[in-house]
C-alpha cells in the first residue's frame, strides 16, 4: 500500500499560502449587484411596519425585498422553522427583516440604513432554564412550548444504586456559546447560467443546500446548482444556511448576478453557535472505584430556531456518562427555544458539553475515593461487548482502554509534575487526564449514505480515473484523502486520479462534511466504486460504476427510555494536559498536550496529525479564552477584538499527537474518523490539571482568569474552614 498512510502534500497548499486560491469573496466581479441585510437587532419584537420608500429612492438601489417577496418563506436543516425575511416578528437579534439590492456595496449599505422598521418589543426569554417554566414567554407560540425536545435515557435503578453507594457527589456545570470563527466570513454570489440558478459559496453539504434553496424559491431541484469555492473552515458553522437563501432570492428576483460578503460582525451576529448547556448531575461509586450510578439533567439553549438542536441534545444525553460502563443511568435532556442566537452544529456536536460534566465528575470521584484518576478510568471504561445506556451493544472496535494506556505512558515520559518555584513562586503546575468517546457519522435513524462514481480511462491497462463525489473540503483535506483511496484501489499514481466534487450538478450526494464521517463514508463509497469500475473493465464492460455505500442502520431513541441503536461507529480518545496557573492573576497557560486517538487507519498521516493539532487550538479557545458575552439576547462581543481567540502565543510549546491504528472493519482500508475527537475531552483535562495545581475545581466554561481566581479563593476558604473545624473538634 504505497499511498495509504503516506503523508502526501496537499495539492491546494501553495495556492492557499500565496493567495491565489479563490474563496467566495474572491468571486465578486465588477458589474455584479450587491445585497445587504437589514437585521432586527432585537431579541423579540412584533414587526408593525417596514417603510422602504427612502431606500428604494436612493440612486443605485435596484430593489428592497421583504417577506412578501419570498415564494416559500421558510428554511431549516431539519425543521423549516426559520423565515428568510421575517414577516410578523423577530425572534433574535440576528433575524433578517429586509434585503437591499444595489449597484455597489456602499449604496447597499447606505440604503439598508434608510429602511425604517417599527417594532413593538415582546417579552423575551433568554435563560434556557427559565424557558422550560410553563409561564415563560413563547418563542414560537404555535409550538405551544419552548421545549423542542425532552429526551430521556433510563437504565437500571438509579435511586437504589445511589442509596447503596459509598460516595455520592453532585455538581452543576455550565458551558457557553462558541463562535465558529472560520477564517473566511460568509460570502457568495448567485447568478443564472441558462435557466439554472447557480449559487457559488462555501458550505458543508452541496445537495442539502440545493434542497433548501429550491424549496424556498418553489423550484425543481434540477433548476438550482450549488458550487463551492475554496472553503476557509466550517466546523459545523456552514451546515445551516446563512447568506445562501438571500443571494439566491436576490438573483432570482432581479435576474442579475448578485454578491454578498458579510463583515465579521454580521457573521458573528447572523449565524449559529455552539450550544450553551446547563448540566446538573449526581454520581455514585463504591469504595473500590466501581461507578454504579449517574443521574443527569441537561438543558441545551437552542436559541431562536431548531437547527440541529434535537440531534445535538440526543448526543449529549447518550454521552452524559462519558465513555464509561455504568449500570444505572437516568438522564433527562431538554433542548429549548430561547430568544438568543440560534445554536447548531459545532465540532463535537454536544459531546464536549457532556464530557465537561462527566469527566469532571470522574476526576472528583477519584479524589473523594483516594484513587488515582487514571486507575478509576481504567476500571470503568467501556470494553468490547459492553452495552450503552440505550441498551445497544457498542459497535465493534472499542479502544477506550488502549488510548488511555497510551496517554498515560506518554505522560509518564514527557510531563513533569513540578515547577521551579524559585523562578516563579506564584506559578503552580498541574497535570490532568480525560477520556472521550464520539460517534462517527449520522445518528438516531437519520438516513446515512455516500454515493460516488468512478470512471476509468483504460485500454489494455487503466491509464486514468475520474472520481465524482459531492464531498466538501472545508480545509480538512478530504479531497486529497479521497484521491489517495481511489489511487490505491486502482493501483494508479495520485496524479492520474481527477476529482470532481464541488458542483451539485456534476457529482452525486456524499452527505455532509460533518460528524467526522467523510473519510469513512465518502472514502468507502470511492473505494467500492473504484473496485466496481475495475471489475467492469476486467469483464470488458464500460469501465464506470456508481456505488452508494450505506453503513449498518441506526434507529431513533425511544423518548421515554432512550432504547435504540444510536450509532454505527465510535471514535475514542484520551488526553494528558499540563498547565501552569498564575495564582496572582488566574491566567492558565497550557504548556503540553498529549492527545491519543484511535483513527482505525491513517490514510494520510500528516493530515491526521494536522487535524489533531488544529482541533486542539479550537479546544484551547473553548476551554479558556472564548467568552461570547450575551446580554438580554444581544451579543456584546461581535468582534475579534472582544471575542478572544487563542493565538500562537496561547498554544502549548509541545503538542504530541499520538495515532493508534486499530482498524475499523467497515472503513476504507480500516479508517474511522478523527476531526472532532480532540475537542471532546480537552476542557475537563484542563480543569483536572488546574485542580492538581491549585486544589480548585472549575464548574463553568470558559475557565477565564476571573473564574479561576474565584475558584481558588473558594477552595482556600473551604480549606481554612475545614482546618478551623478540625482544630475545634475534641
Secondary structure E strands in 238-307: 258-261, 277-285, 291-301
Beta bridge pairs of residue 51: 116
Distances (CA, A) of 380 to 318, 347, 360: 16, 26, 15
Assigned CATH class of 24-122+183-233+238-270: alpha beta
Q: Are 98 and 115 in contact (CB under 8 A)?
A: yes
Peptide bond into 702 cis (omega under 30): yes
The string of pLDDT tens digits covering residues 561-589 is 999 999 999 999 999 999 999 999 999 99
DSSP secondary structure string for all residues of 358-385: HHHHHHHHHHHHT--HHHHHHHHB--TT
Q: Answer whether 24-122+183-233+238-270 and 449-549 agree in fold.
A: no
Q: What is the pLDDT of residue 719?
A: 86
Angle subtended by helix axes 351-369 and 373-380, to nearest 10: 120
**Which position has the grid cell 465579521?**
264
Q: Are 216 and 227 in contact (CB under 8 A)?
A: no
CB atoms within 10 A of CB 458: 16
The dihedral built from the CA positions of residue 66, 67, 68 and 74, taken in this order, carries a sign that is positive
Distances (CA, A) of 88 to 94, 120, 223, 249, 643: 15, 11, 30, 19, 32
Residues of the chain with pLDDT under 70: 1, 417-423
The string of pLDDT tens digits covering residues 242-295 is 999 999 999 999 999 999 999 999 999 999 999 999 999 999 999 999 999 999
Q: Are 254 and 33 in contact (CB under 8 A)?
A: yes
Smallest Cα–Cα separation from 92: which of 346, 343, 347? 343
The Cα 158–Cα 148 span in angstroms is 26
- How are beta strands 224-228 and 196-201 bridged, if at all? parallel
Q: Are 209 and 190 in contact (CB under 8 A)?
A: no
Angle subtended by helix axes 244-254 and 206-217, to nearest 10: 50
Q: Are 281 and 294 in contact (CB under 8 A)?
A: yes
Cell numbers found for residue 655: 503538542
Cell numbers found for residue 638: 461581535
The Cα 169–Cα 295 span in angstroms is 11
DSSP secondary structure string for all residues of 172-239: EEE--------SS-SEEEEEEETTEEEEEE--S-HHHHHHHHHHHHT--GGGEEEEE------TTTTT
Smallest Cα–Cα separation from 140: which of 193, 198, 76, 196? 76
**Which position has the grid cell 468517546?**
437
CB atoms within 10 A of CB 299: 25
**What are φ and ψ of residue 465, in 5° steps?**
-145, 145
The Cα 136–Cα 617 span in angstroms is 38
Smallest Cα–Cα separation from 281: which of 378, 353, 367? 353
- Which residues fall within 8 angstroms of residue 432, CB to CB, at 6 or more apart? 363, 576, 577, 579, 684, 685, 686, 687, 688, 689, 690, 691, 692
If you count DSSP H runs as helices and E runs as strands, how many of each does the chain have, helices first?
A: 17, 25
The Cα 131–Cα 316 span in angstroms is 19
**Which position has the grid cell 412550548?**
145
Q: Which CATH code is given to the segment(s) 277-443+559-717?
A: 3.30.365.10
Listed by start position, the domains of the chain span: 24-122+183-233+238-270, 277-443+559-717, 449-549
Q: What's the fold here for domain 449-549?
A: Aldehyde Oxidoreductase; domain 4 (3.30.365)
Mapping DSSP to helix (H, G, I), strand (E, B) and coil, where does residue 489 land?
Answer: helix
Q: What is the pLDDT of residue 256?
A: 98
Mapping DSSP to helix (H, G, I), strand (E, B) and coil, where does residue 39 land?
Answer: strand
Reported pTM:
0.96
The Cα 349–Cα 309 span in angstroms is 9
Q: Are 86 and 67 in contact (CB under 8 A)?
A: yes
Q: What is the pLDDT of residue 611?
A: 96
The Cα 4–Cα 489 span in angstroms is 10
- Which residues fall within 8 angstroms of residue 413, CB to CB, at 6 or more apart? none
Mapping DSSP to helix (H, G, I), strand (E, B) and coil, where does residue 166 land?
Answer: coil
Cell numbers found for residue 534: 475495475
Q: What is the pLDDT of residue 72?
A: 98
The Cα 706–Cα 313 span in angstroms is 29
- Reported as type and span, the H/E element at residue 17 is helix 13-18
Q: Are 636 and 628 in contact (CB under 8 A)?
A: no
Q: Are 410 and 594 in contact (CB under 8 A)?
A: yes
C-alpha Rg value of the chain to the nearest Å: 26
Burial 182-202 (b: 16+ CB within 10 A, else e): bebbbbbbbbeeeeebbbbbb
Q: Are 205 and 511 in contact (CB under 8 A)?
A: yes
Amino acid at each position: 500500500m504505497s499511498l495509504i498512510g503516506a503523508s502526501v502534500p496537499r495539492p491546494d497548499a501553495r495556492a492557499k499560502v500565496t493567495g491565489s486560491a479563490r474563496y467566495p469573496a474572491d468571486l465578486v466581479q465588477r458589474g455584479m449587484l450587491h445585497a445587504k441585510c437589514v437585521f432586527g437587532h432585537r431579541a423579540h419584537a412584533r414587526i408593525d411596519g417596514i417603510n422602504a420608500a427612502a431606500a428604494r429612492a436612493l440612486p443605485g438601489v435596484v430593489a428592497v425585498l421583504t417577506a412578501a417577496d419570498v415564494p416559500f418563506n421558510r428554511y431549516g436543516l431539519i425543521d423549516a422553522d426559520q423565515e428568510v425575511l421575517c414577516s410578523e416578528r423577530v425572534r433574535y437579534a440576528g433575524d433578517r427583516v429586509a434585503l437591499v439590492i444595489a449597484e455597489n456595496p456602499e449604496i447597499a449599505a447606505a440604503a439598508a440604513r434608510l429602511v425604517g422598521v417599527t417594532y413593538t418589543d415582546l417579552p423575551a426569554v433568554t435563560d434556557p432554564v427559565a424557558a422550560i417554566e410553563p409561564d415563560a414567554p413563547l418563542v414560537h407560540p404555535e409550538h405551544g412550548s419552548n421545549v423542542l425536545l425532552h429526551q430521556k435515557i433510563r437504565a437500571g435503578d438509579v435511586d437504589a444504586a445511589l442509596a447503596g453507594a459509598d460516595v455520592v457527589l453532585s455538581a452543576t456545570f455550565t458551558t457557553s456559546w462558541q463562535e465558529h470563527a472560520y477564517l473566511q466570513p460568509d460570502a457568495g454570489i448567485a447568478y443564472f447560467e441558462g435557466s439554472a440558478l447557480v449559487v457559488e459559496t462555501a458550505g458543508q453539504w452541496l445537495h442539502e443546500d440545493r434542497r433548501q434553496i429550491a424549496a424556498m424559491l418553489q423550484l425543481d431541484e434540477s433548476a438550482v446548482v450549488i458550487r463551492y469555492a475554496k472553503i476557509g473552515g466550517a466546523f459545523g458553522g456552514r451546515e445551516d444556511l446563512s447568506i445562501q437563501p438571500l443571494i439566491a432570492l436576490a438573483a432570482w428576483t432581479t435576474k442579475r448576478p448578485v454578491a454578498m460578503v458579510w463583515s465579521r460582525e454580521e457573521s458573528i451576529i447572523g449565524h449559529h453557535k455552539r450550544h450553551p448547556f446547563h448540566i446538573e448531575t449526581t454520581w455514585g461509586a463504591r469504595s473500590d472505584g466501581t461507578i454504579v450510578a449517574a443521574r443527569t439533567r441537561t438543558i441545551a439553549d437552542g436559541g431562536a430556531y431548531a437547527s440541529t438542536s434535537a440531534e445535538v441534545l440526543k448526543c449529549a444525553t447518550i454521552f452524559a456518562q462519558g465513555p464509561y460502563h455504568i449500570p444505572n443511568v437516568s438522564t433527562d435532556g431538554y433542548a429549548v427555544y430561547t430568544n438568543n442566537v440560534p445554536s447548531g452544529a459545532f465540532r463535537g456536536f454536544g459531546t464536549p458539553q457532556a464530557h465537561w460534566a462527566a469527566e469532571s465528575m470522574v476526576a472528583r470521584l477519584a479524589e473523594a475515593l483516594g484513587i488515582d484518576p487514571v486507575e478509576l478510568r481504567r476500571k470503568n471504561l467501556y470494553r468490547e461487548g459492553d452495552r450503552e445506556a440505550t441498551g445497544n451493544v457498542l459497535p465493534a472496535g472499542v479502544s477506550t482502554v488502549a488510548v488511555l494506556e497510551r496517554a498515560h505512558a506518554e505522560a509518564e515520559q514527557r510531563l513533569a509534575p513540578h515547577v521551579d518555584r524559585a523562578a516563579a513562586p506564584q506559578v503552580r503546575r498541574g497535570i490532568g487526564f480525560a477520556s472521550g468517546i464520539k460517534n462517527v457519522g449520522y445518528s438516531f435513524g437519520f438516513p446515512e449514505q455516500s454515493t460516488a462514481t468512478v470512471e476509468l480511462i483504460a485500454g489494455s491497462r487503466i491509464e486514468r480515473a475520474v472520481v465524482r463525489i459531492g464531498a466538501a473540503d472545508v480545509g480538512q483535506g478530504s479531497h486529497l484523502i479521497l484521491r489517495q483511496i481511489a489511487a490505491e484501489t486502482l493501483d494508479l499514481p495520485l496524479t492520474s486520479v481527477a476529482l470532481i466534487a464541488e458542483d451539485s450538478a456534476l457529482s452525486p450526494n456524499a452527505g455532509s462534511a460533518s460528524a467526522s464521517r467523510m473519510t469513512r463514508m465518502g472514502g468507502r463509497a470511492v473505494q467500492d466504486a473504484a473496485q466496481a469500475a475495475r471489475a467492469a473493465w476486467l469483464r470488458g464492460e464500460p469501465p464506470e460504476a456508481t456505488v452508494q455505500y450505506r453503513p449498518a442502520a441506526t434507529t431513533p431513541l425511544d423518548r421515554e427510555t432512550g432504547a435504540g441503536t444510536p450509532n454505527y461507529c465510535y471514535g475514542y480518545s484520551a488526553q494528558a494536559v499540563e498547565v501552569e496557573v498564575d495564582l496572582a492573576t488566574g491566567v492558565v497557560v497550557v504548556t503540553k498536550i498529549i492527545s491519543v486517538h484511535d483513527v482505525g487507519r491513517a490514510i494520510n498521516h500528516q493530515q491526521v496529525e494536522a487535524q489533531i493539532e488544529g482541533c486542539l487550538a479550537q479546544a484551547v479557545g473553548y476551554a479558556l479564552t472564548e467568552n461570547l458575552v450575551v446580554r438580554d439576547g444581544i451579543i456584546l462581543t461581535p468582534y475579534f477584538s472582544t471575542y478572544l481567540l487563542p493565538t500562537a502565543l496561547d498554544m502549548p510549546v509541545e503538542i504530541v499527537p499520538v495515532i493508534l491504528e486499530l482498524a475499523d472493519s467497515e472503513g476504507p482500508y480500516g479508517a474511522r474518523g478523527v476531526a472532532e475527537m480532540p475537542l471532546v475531552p480537552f476542557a475537563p483535562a484542563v480543569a483536572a490539571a488546574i485542580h492538581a495545581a491549585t486544589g480548585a475545581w472549575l464548574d463553568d466554561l470558559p475557565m477565564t482568569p476571573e473564574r479561576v481566581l474565584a475558584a481558588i479563593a473558594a477552595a482556600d476558604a473551604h480549606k481554612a474552614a475545614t482546618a478551623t473545624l478540625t482544630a475545634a473538634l475534641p
